[in-house]
Structure 1
Amino acid sequence: MELNLKRLFARSMTGPDLTEAPPPPSPRSTKRRLTLVMLAGALAVVGALAAGYHVAMRPVTLRIAVGPASSDDIKVVQALAQALNNAPHSLVRLRPIQTDGASASAQALADGKADLAIIRGDLDVPKNAQAVATLRKNVAVLWVPPATKGKKAGSGITKIAQLTGHRIGVVGRTQANVNLLKVILAQYGVDPAKVEIVQFPANEAVEAIRSQKADAYVAAGPVNSKITSDAIAASIRDGGTPKFLAIDAAEAIAQNHPMYEASEIPAGSFGGAGRPEDEVKTISFSHHIVARRGVSESTIAAFTRQLFAVRQSLKNEFPLAAKIETPDTDKDATIPVHPGAAAFVDGEEKTFLDRYSDYIWWGLMALSAMGSAGAWFAGYLKKDERNNNNSQRERLLDMLKVARHCDSTEELDQMQAEADEILRDTLQCFERGAIEQGTLTAFNIALEQFHNAVADRKALLISLPQNLQRAGAQFRSAGTA
């Protein structure tokens, strides 16, 4: 049966008390409100996802500790920071923190004052450090200056074992270079206490070597290090060339000290008259870019990806940038690799959906559950209203039965007025969603039957003489008494 609310309400206007009643609200407004609520919920979900995406893709600034001042390391890091900070859609930005050297940088990482740090692999590595990349590899270079007039070259030093009792100059003021020298001397049975070690700052090394402040020298840095090349060139005099001391026991040193590796200095590495004519065996160690354990895996993966992306663009201005290599991902690596860097190296870096799909899924599930719970709760709150409407419908059916035998038009008018009130309550229940279309259709059937019964009974009463009506009413009254 097609529900016609206008006709239904018009039929109810016959009662005396409904002449000023407002027209009932249309069911379309309920559907419109429901549509708006659903649209608002969908927009809220989309907004939450967009906000989550914005937060997840917002650039993260990482503090990187590096030093000392004016070193090649800090120049490379500053260039790298500028490239990352100016790159479009960069997910990671760098803020350099200058320190006194690799040891101070490692301490800053250990204390949580930095997220990244440039450290030496042959120094104590912080327990919370994880490798991200190898910045460069350094080699140890030992040499003896050529003889001057009236003096033999380095007092005849041709082997490391002959350094006992001599003065050895160390290029660079870091204690790490002194420790490196002591490891080499100990391997050859030379007591460090029986040699005199003199340190020269890198910017003073050339003048000290020209002044013959030591009998032999040691430097540590990349094979193409300008500091090492200038120091070797400063030791050339009277047309003679320096004597390079080979570390033939490099393999043994590497076995006893895992932070070192056996390596070689290629012939001609330092150019000019000071270059080695032949390959020289030595040991090497690395400078690492490490991250603090606890820094987000996705952040470090993004940084590693961007690091190797800009490396090529920096190598023309900073040749050291070309030396950046991926970290050792083996489980027995000296410095354990950061999971984010390992994901990049192994090609297992997670996308946005990979990282947050579980959160999105559970968020949608939670939203659906909340919607279902809200619908159930709303239905529960309308339970009493539905029960009341059911009782009103039963009352309407009872009035239908009474109307068919009623002998008083006044009583019929009173029932008509009550039916109008029931109609008003029923329409309000339908508007609020307490009852459904089928329930309203059933009520319409009952209301039409009641109106028909009232109309038929009134027509019958009007057609009867007044005295018969009164007699019938008195007879029924006497019967009930």
Structure 2
Amino acid sequence: MSHSGTSMSAEAPTPQPEMPRRRSRVAKSNRTQIVLFSILTLILTAVTVWGGRTWLRNSETLVFAVGEANGPEARFAAKLAALLKSNSSRLQLKIVPSADNAKALASFDRKEANLAVLRTDAKIPSRARAVAILDHDVLLLLSPGDKKIKTVADLKKKKIAVMADSESSAALVRNILELSDSPDAAARVQLAPPGSTLEKLFASGNGAVVVVAHASQIVKDRSYEQLAKRGGFTLNAIDAAKALARKYPALSEETLTTGMLSGAPAIPDDDLTTIGLEWLLVAQSRLSTTTMSDLARLIYENKADLALSDGFASKIEPVVTDKDAFIAAHAGAAEYINDDTKSFMDRYSDMMYLGAAALSVIGSIFAGIYTKITRVAPEKASELATAILDIGERMEYAKTLDALDELQDELEAILRGAVIGLRDGTISSDGLETFKLGYEFVRDEIGMRRDHLRRHAGQTPALSAPAGQTTTAHDDNVVVVKTAQSA
């Protein structure tokens, strides 16, 4: 077929199929669920610790054995119960009255009560541990008029009346004077009848009157001052107080301060030594250190709220915490008395232990829920090979270096995603070798494809076409079109 000298139209190239779109991959991540479950675990742990602490704070009831219902021990127990309630303490009291204090102590000794009040000359239960000194009973050695009693030996020669609440005080005086074995001991040392006064007792022939009473009550008793103005008595020191306290551990050396009985005239006119007894709040030794430390703290920090109207427990004092104390201090009370400040660990150790236990249990439960029910399972590394092979399949459609660069970017993006996924757990290492082989294979193929495109991009056609014709060269999948230019 002949053609004119003018340029002829070139043969239309065969249309090439377009590169298929990449398959979309839905990125799955556990990060949001991990954060959510972590927050829920911490919140539930905090709620559990708070609830457990609240439950524990209201879970312990202490039985307080007291004497007669209207006695000072019972009234003190009632004050203490009200104090615990007003302070929202975890401790509560159940007050159990008895006929007298001796029966209350017997109940305590049988472990039927946790708390009791005793005077140190009582029969001390073996499991009793001191918590606080509530009051002191002091012995006032009084003689009629201005007749002084200089020594205990002089006192032994006299007829003595004991003004006290119980026969036990008269028995105490007999023991101190070592008259218990004497056949006339009861006659020589008698308990004064109820309603007796010092003047009546002196008038009835008693050479001495020993008053055994709470120090807090003696300070408030104005009858001593009235009698002193009439010159009715002399207050005597007990010269052997230190030796007696050493001989009888239940006794303590006491000091009667100036003007304690009377301000005008001042009686005593100077500090004077005598002997006395202590009223102690005691607890069972088996009670926990934490419980008794809490109780001691409330008692010592709220003394004013525990004082009775008659003065009993108006000056609460710490017990002796030495190992050689007559009644050993409870470990919880000693802990508070000896070290009022606690470290952070000491103060909150119980909450920390409870929190650790709760966190372990709750964490295990949530981990089970997370793993079995709601967790997005990590994608296997081998599954990423599908995306890599997809790039390999689309490579044959890449006719330019730009298209090839896009595929290279996709391949590198898959690699970055795999590294990040392995780090945060969204991709497992299962099939990692398969992923590695697929990645290296496609990467090398892209490199070879790029070299091929670069070689053939500037290649001159091997056959020259006549003027006015177009030569089309085919080399595998590469088509290079040259259009003849007119002269």
Same fold per superposition (TM over 0.5): yes
Q: Which structure is larger by alpha-carbon Rg, 1 or 2?
A: 2
Q: 1:157 to 1:81 in 2, by over 3 A?
A: same
Moved more, 365-374 or 351-360: 365-374
- CA shift for structure 1 position 35: 7.6
Cα distance change on mapping 1:144 and 1:334 into 2, 3 Å: same
Displacement of 1:354 in angstroms is 3.2
Structure 1: where are the runs of 5+ without partners?
Answer: 1-5, 10-25, 148-152, 380-385, 394-432, 446-481
**Aligned equivalent of 1:286:** 278
| Alignment CA distance shift 1:214-1:304 (3 Å) | farther
**Cα 1:86/1:370, change in 2 over 3 Å:** closer
**For the residues of structure 2 that align with 1:93 and 1:290, how far apart are their CA atoms?**
16
Q: Distance in 2 between matches of 1:191 and 1:363?
A: 64
Match of 1:56 in 2: 56
Q: What is aligned with 2:348?
A: 354
Structure 1 pair 263–28 and aligned structure 2 pair: CA distance change class (3 A): same
Q: Secondary structure at the match of 2:276?
A: strand
Structure-to-structure mapping, 1:60-459, within 5 angstroms: 60-87=60-87, 89-146=88-145, 160-162=152-154, 167-186=159-178, 192-195=182-185, 196=187, 197-200=189-192, 203-206=194-197, 209=200, 215=206, 216-226=208-218, 229=221, 239-271=230-262, 275-277=267-269, 279-313=271-305, 317=309, 319-347=311-339, 354-356=348-350, 359-360=353-354, 362-363=356-357, 366-367=360-361, 370=364
Equivalent-residue separation in structure 2 for 1:32 and 1:230 (angstroms): 80
Cα distance, 1:251–1:332 mapped onto 2, change above 3 Å: same
Q: Which has the higher helix share?
A: 1
Contact kept? 2:219, 2:260, Cα under 8 Å: no
Aligned counterparts of 1:115 and 1:50: Cα–Cα separation in 2: 28
Q: Give the aligned residue type for 1:321.
A: A
The CA distance in 2 between the partners of 1:237 and 1:35, in whole Å, is 83
What amino acid does structure 2 have at the position aligned with 1:67?
G
Task: Among all aligned residue pairs of Structure 1 and Structure 2, give the percentage whose two residues are the same amino acid.
Answer: 23
Change (3 A) 1:244 1:199: same
The DSSP-based 3-state class of the residue aligned with 2:81 is helix
Contact 2:108 2:114 survives alignment (8 Å): yes
2:11 alignment counterpart: none
CA shift at 1:113, angstroms? 2.3
Cα contact 2:134–2:316 (8 A) shared by 1? yes
- Post-superposition Cα deviations, 1:312-334, rounded to whole Å, max 9, x if no partner, equal 35559564433100111112211
Q: Between 274-283 and 366-375, report the one with greater CA deviation.
A: 366-375
Q: Contact 1:242–1:274 (CA<8 Å) still a contact in 2?
A: no
1:33: how far off?
7.9
Q: How many residue pairs are counted as aligned between the two chains?
A: 374
SS of corresponding position for 1:204: coil
8 Å contact 2:135–2:315 — kept in the other structure? yes
Deviation at 1:133?
A: 0.8
The amino acid that maps onto 1:324 is I
Q: CA deviation at 1:165?
A: 7.0
Q: Within 5 Å, which residues of 2 pair with 1:32-43?
A: 41-43=41-43
State the shift of 1:240 in Å.
4.2
Cα deviation, residue 132, structure 1: 0.9
Instruction: Tell me: CA distance 1:353–1:136, structure 2 relative to 1, closer, same or farther (3 Å).
Output: closer
**TM-score, normalised via structure 2 length:** 0.60
Distance 1:273 1:305 in 2: 41
Following superposition, the deviation at residue 286 of structure 1 comes to 0.8
Deviation sequence 1:33-55 (CA, Å, 0-9, x none) = 88876666555433422222212
The 2-side partners of 1:322 and 1:90 are apart by: 22
CA drift of 1:232 comes to: 5.7
Q: Structure 1 length as normaliser, TM-score?
A: 0.60
**AA in 2 matched with 1:355:** S
Could you tell me how far 1:126 is from its partner in structure 2? Answer: 1.3
Tell me the residue number matched to 1:404. none
Separation of aligned partners in 2, 1:308 and 1:374: 49
Report if the CA contact (8 A) 1:141-1:220 is conserved.
yes
Q: Counterpart amino acid of 2:121? A: D
Alpha-carbon distance in structure 2 between the residues aligned to 1:208 and 1:92: 48
* Pair 327,229 (structure 1): closer, same or farther in 2 beyond 3 Å: same
Aligned partner of residue 130 in structure 1, secondary structure: strand
Q: Distance in 2 between matches of 1:130 and 1:253?
A: 24
For residues 273 and 73 of structure 1, do their structure 2 counterparts lie closer, same or farther at Cα, with a shift above 3 Å needed?
farther
Structure 2 contact 62–115 (Cα < 8 Å) conserved: yes
Separation (CA, whole Å) in 2 of partners of 1:97 and 1:129? 17
Asked if 2 retains the 8 angstrom alpha-carbon contact of 1:173 and 1:200, the reply is no
C-alpha change, 1:249 and 1:315, in structure 2 (3 Å) is: same
Per-residue deviation, 1:70 = 3.9
Shift of residue 108, structure 1, vs aligned partner = 2.5
CA contact (8 A) 1:224 1:269 kept: no
Per-residue deviation at 1:96?
A: 3.4
